[in-house]
Amino acid sequence: MAGLAVIPNVRAQQNLIPYAKPIIGTEKMGHTFPGATVPFGAVQLSPDTDTLSYEFNGKYNKDVYKYCAGYQYDDPTIVGFSHTHFSGTGHSDLGDFLIMPTTGALQLNPGTEQNPGSGYRSVYSHANETAEPGYYKVKLDDHNILAELTTSTRVGFHQYTFPQSDQAHIILDLMAGIYNYEDKNVWTVVRVENDTLITGYRQTNGWSRTRTVYFAMTFSKPISEYGCRDYSKKQVYKGFWRKFDQTKNFPDLAGKQLRMYFDFKTDAKEKVKMKFALSPVSTKNAIENMKAEIPHWDFEKTKAEAQQLWNAELNKIVIKTSSQEEMINFYTAMYHAALMPTIYMDRNGEYKGLDQQVHKAEGFTNYTSFSLWDTYRAFHPYLNLIQPSRNADIIRSMMAHYDQSVLKMLPIWSHYANDNWCMSGYHSVSVIADAVIKGNVPFDANKVLDACIATATKRNYEGIGEYMDKGYVPNEKNSVSVSNTLEYAYDDWSIAQMAKKLGRMEVYEQFIKRSENWRNVYDPSIGFMRPRLSDGSFKKEFDVLKTDGQGFIEGNAWNYSLYVPQNPDGMIELMGGKKRFVSHLDSLFTMHLPDEFFAETEDITREGIIGNYVHGNEPAHHVAYLYNWTDQPWKTQERVRMILKHQYHNGSAGLGGNDDCGQMSAWYIFSSLGFYPVAPGSDQYWLGSPSIQTASLHLENGKIFTVEATNQSDKNVYVKSVSLNDKPLKERFITHDQIMQGGKITFQMSAKPMK
Amino acid sequence: MAGLAVIPNVRAQQNLIPYAKPIIGTEKMGHTFPGATVPFGAVQLSPDTDTLSYEFNGKYNKDVYKYCAGYQYDDPTIVGFSHTHFSGTGHSDLGDFLIMPTTGALQLNPGTEQNPGSGYRSVYSHANETAEPGYYKVKLDDHNILAELTTSTRVGFHQYTFPQSDQAHIILDLMAGIYNYEDKNVWTVVRVENDTLITGYRQTNGWSRTRTVYFAMTFSKPISEYGCRDYSKKQVYKGFWRKFDQTKNFPDLAGKQLRMYFDFKTDAKEKVKMKFALSPVSTKNAIENMKAEIPHWDFEKTKAEAQQLWNAELNKIVIKTSSQEEMINFYTAMYHAALMPTIYMDRNGEYKGLDQQVHKAEGFTNYTSFSLWDTYRAFHPYLNLIQPSRNADIIRSMMAHYDQSVLKMLPIWSHYANDNWCMSGYHSVSVIADAVIKGNVPFDANKVLDACIATATKRNYEGIGEYMDKGYVPNEKNSVSVSNTLEYAYDDWSIAQMAKKLGRMEVYEQFIKRSENWRNVYDPSIGFMRPRLSDGSFKKEFDVLKTDGQGFIEGNAWNYSLYVPQNPDGMIELMGGKKRFVSHLDSLFTMHLPDEFFAETEDITREGIIGNYVHGNEPAHHVAYLYNWTDQPWKTQERVRMILKHQYHNGSAGLGGNDDCGQMSAWYIFSSLGFYPVAPGSDQYWLGSPSIQTASLHLENGKIFTVEATNQSDKNVYVKSVSLNDKPLKERFITHDQIMQGGKITFQMSAKPMK
Mind telling me how many Å the CA of A237 is from chain B's nearest CA?
A: 6
Looking at residue A233, its pLDDT comes to: 77
Phi, psi (degrees; rounded to nearest 5) at A522: -90, 125
Establish if A189 touches chain B: CB-CB under 8 angstroms.
yes
Looking at residue B397, what DSSP letter applies? H
Establish if A284 touches chain B: CB-CB under 8 angstroms.
yes
Mind telling me how many Å the CA of B198 is from chain A's nearest CA?
A: 11
Q: Is it the case that residue B509 has pLDDT exceeding 80?
A: yes
- Closest residue of chain A to B180, computed from CA coordinates: A236
- Closest residue of chain B to A204, computed from CA coordinates: B187
Q: How much is the CA Rg of chain A, to the nearest whole Å?
A: 26
A413 close to A419: Cβ distance less than 8 angstroms = yes
Establish if B284 touches chain A: CB-CB under 8 angstroms.
yes
Q: Is this model's pTM higher than 0.80 or not?
A: yes
Mean pLDDT, to the nearest integer, of B378-395? Answer: 98
Establish if A469 touches chain B: CB-CB under 8 angstroms.
no
Mean pLDDT, to the nearest integer, of A74-90? Answer: 97
pLDDT digits (tens, 9 = 90+) for A564-610: 999 999 999 999 999 999 999 999 999 888 877 777 766 677 777 88
- Closest residue of chain A to B248, computed from CA coordinates: A460
Looking at residue B56, its pLDDT comes to: 67
**Confidence bin at A447 (pLDDT 50/70/90):** very high
Looking at residue A56, its pLDDT comes to: 67
Q: Is it the case that residue B235 has pLDDT exceeding 70?
A: no
Strand partners, B216: B199, B277
pLDDT digits (tens, 9 = 90+) for B87-136: 999 999 999 999 999 999 999 999 998 898 899 999 999 999 999 999 99
What is the Cα–Cα distance from A49 to A37, expressed in whole angstroms? Answer: 18
What is the Cα–Cα distance from A275 to A240, expressed in whole angstroms? Answer: 31
What is the Cα–Cα distance from B275 to B157, expressed in whole angstroms? Answer: 5
Mean pLDDT, to the nearest integer, of A618-631? Answer: 96
Task: Find the DSSP H helices in B76-184.
Answer: none
Mean pLDDT, to the nearest integer, of A266-286? Answer: 98
- Closest residue of chain A to B199, computed from CA coordinates: A355
Looking at residue A755, its pLDDT comes to: 85
Chain A residue numbers with beta carbons less than 8 Å from the beta carbon of B461 are 243-244
Mean pLDDT, to the nearest integer, of B388-412? Answer: 98
pLDDT digits (tens, 9 = 90+) for A499-548: 999 999 999 999 999 999 999 999 999 999 999 999 999 999 999 999 88
Q: How much is the CA Rg of chain B, to the nearest whole Å?
A: 26
Looking at residue A57, its pLDDT comes to: 67
Mean pLDDT, to the nearest integer, of B400-423? Answer: 96
**Confidence bin at A54 (pLDDT 50/70/90):** confident
Mean pLDDT, to the nearest integer, of B709-729? Answer: 97
**Confidence bin at B2 (pLDDT 50/70/90):** very low
**Confidence bin at B4 (pLDDT 50/70/90):** very low
**Inter-chain residue contact B236 with A183, CB threshold 8 Å:** yes
Q: Is it the case that residue A471 has pLDDT exceeding 50?
A: yes
Strand partners, A728: A723
DSSP string of A226-289, one letter each residue: EEEEE--S--S-THHHHHS--SBS--EEEESSEEEEEEEEE-TTEEEEEEEEEESS-HHHHHHH
Establish if A404 touches chain B: CB-CB under 8 angstroms.
no
Mean pLDDT of chain A: 94
Establish if A356 touches chain B: CB-CB under 8 angstroms.
yes
A655 close to A24: Cβ distance less than 8 angstroms = yes
Q: Which of A89, A237, A412 to mutate to test the interface with B (most CBs of B within 10 A)?
A: A237
Burial class (CB in 10 A: 0-12, 13-18, 19+), A438: buried
Contacts of residue A747, defined as CB under 8 A and 6 or more positions apart, other chains included, come to: A674, A689, A690, A707, A708, A709, A710, A719, A721, A722
Looking at the partner chain, which of A192, A244, A407 has a beta carbon nearest the beta carbon of B461?
A244
Mean pLDDT of chain B: 94
pLDDT digits (tens, 9 = 90+) for A386-404: 999 999 999 999 999 999 9
Establish if A251 touches chain B: CB-CB under 8 angstroms.
yes
Looking at residue B57, its pLDDT comes to: 67
Looking at residue B241, its pLDDT comes to: 65
Say if the ipTM goes beyond 0.90. Answer: yes
Establish if B569 touches chain A: CB-CB under 8 angstroms.
no
Mean pLDDT, to the nearest integer, of A640-657? Answer: 94
- Closest residue of chain A to B232, computed from CA coordinates: A183
**Confidence bin at B180 (pLDDT 50/70/90):** confident
Looking at residue A4, its pLDDT comes to: 45
A309 close to A5: Cβ distance less than 8 angstroms = yes
Is the Cα torsion angle A169, A172, A177, A181 positive or negative in sign? negative
Q: Which amino acid is at A6?
A: V
Chain B residue numbers with beta carbons less than 8 Å from the beta carbon of A236 are 181, 183-184, 205-206
pLDDT digits (tens, 9 = 90+) for B489-499: 999 999 999 99
pLDDT digits (tens, 9 = 90+) for A250-270: 999 999 999 999 999 999 999
Strand, helix or coil for residue A222: coil
Looking at residue B336, its pLDDT comes to: 98
Looking at residue A586, its pLDDT comes to: 95
Mean pLDDT, to the nearest integer, of A635-647? Answer: 96
Looking at the partner chain, which of A192, A245, A406 has a beta carbon nearest the beta carbon of B406?
A192
Looking at residue A636, its pLDDT comes to: 98
Tell me the helix, strand and coil percentages in chain B, rounded to 5: 30, 25, 45
Establish if B195 touches chain A: CB-CB under 8 angstroms.
no
A–B interface: beta-carbon pairs under 8 A = 111
Burial class (CB in 10 A: 0-12, 13-18, 19+), B17: middle
What is the Cα–Cα distance from A207 to A188, expressed in whole angstroms? Answer: 18
Task: Find the DSSP H helices in B648-689.
Answer: 663-673
